[in-house]
Amino acid sequence: MKVICAGFSHTGTKSIAEALRILGYSKVHDFLEHSAIDGTYWTRIFDGRGSIDDFREMYKDVDAVADVPASIFWEEILEAFPDSKVILTMRDSEEVWFKSFAAYITHIRRTLFWERYMSIGFFLFRLFMPSYHSYFYNVCTAGYGYLLGNPNNELLLRNYYRRHNRNVLRGCPPRQLLIFNVKEGWEPLCKFLGKDVPENAPFPTKNKKDDSFVVNFFRGQCENDGGMREKMKKELYNRVTIAFSIFVIPIFVIISMTLGLL
């Protein structure tokens, strides 16, 4: 583990993850990789059975991490890998962050029809993909309480953002910390990491409202998902097959026997 991106969600976490890949960090675990690749470890951690050794094992061959849940556990990861550098991505202000975050979540809900069918969608998600439902529920609870269902709860969202940033600023050794706004581009990032500024490569801008990685993921257009989409499809297929076997086949047999077809 070389780089821990401790920035709160929607502070440029997707952009910084892509920037690290461009700079040569080949194994960068972002939001989807945490579940698709590291899900077993995170389940143990969320269940209260985790330890620092889990982080050492989970990230022993990983170059960098970004976004939740890793950003929430940045202190534990730093304890496991004390020589790592920490990047705290921040927006221009707390107000800018809140407006951007709230607008983004609202956009996702409306784009994926969650605004109208959210309760049905979560029920089906829990029924047919229980392991992923449990994981994402734990991630959202750890990162934002229960706020994703109500992105307009301004006071609580601001409080989460403020407390997280203050915790990083107070707890991380200054010599290992870079406070970074993605608007600053390559120069401060490369200087902090001891890397050359990439030639003819503009600093990446990922996960904007009109290019949401969540929407792209469900549409099968996500570049880096760690195999998450295929694993979710497999679990969905298995659950649907089980449901079909339990409910549809017995009903078919009963009807056939009633009609004398069997």
Q: What is the pLDDT of residues 9-41, one digit of tens each?
A: 889 998 999 999 999 998 999 888 887 788 888
What is the average pLDDT across 62-76? 94
Beta strand segments in the chain, E: 3-5, 28-29, 64-65, 85-89, 177-180
Instruction: Let me know if residue 120 belongs to a domain.
Output: no
Global confidence as pTM: 0.73
Instruction: Let me know if residue 188 belongs to a domain.
Output: yes
pLDDT at 115 over 50: no
Q: What is the DSSP letter of 87?
A: E
CB count within 10 Å of CB 202 equals 9
Q: How many helices (H) and strands (E) does the chain have?
A: 13, 5
pLDDT value of position 71: 93
Which residues constitute the domain of residue 67?
3-94+154-226
> 50-58: which pairs have CB atoms within 8 A and are 24 or more residues apart?
52/76, 52/79, 52/80, 53/80, 55/79, 55/80, 55/81, 56/80, 56/81
Instruction: Let me know if residue 130 belongs to a domain.
Output: no
Asked whether 197 and 187 are in contact (CB, 8 A), the reply is: yes
Q: Which two tokens stand for residue 95?
A: 């107000």
pLDDT at 84 over 60: yes
pLDDT at 145 over 80: no
pLDDT value of position 47: 80
What is the average pLDDT across 38-67? 91
More confident residue, 233 or 55: 55
**Listed range (81-90, 112-121, 253-262) with the worst mean pLDDT:** 112-121
Instruction: Let me know if residue 118 belongs to a domain.
Output: no
Instruction: Let me know if residue 141 belongs to a domain.
Output: no
Instruction: Let me know if residue 185 belongs to a domain.
Output: yes
Alpha-carbon 215 to chain mean position: 13
Instruction: Let me know if residue 186 belongs to a domain.
Output: yes
Q: How many domains does the chain have?
A: 1
pLDDT at 182 over 80: yes
Instruction: Let me know if residue 33 belongs to a domain.
Output: yes
Using alpha carbons only, what angle is made at residue 210 by residues 6 and 147, rounded to the nearest 5 degrees? 50
CATH of the domain at 66: 3.40.50.300
pLDDT at 206 over 60: yes
- Spell out the residues 6+ positions from residue 111 whose beta carbon is closer than 8 angstroms to its own: 212, 215
Q: Which two tokens stand for residue 254?
A: 């009963």
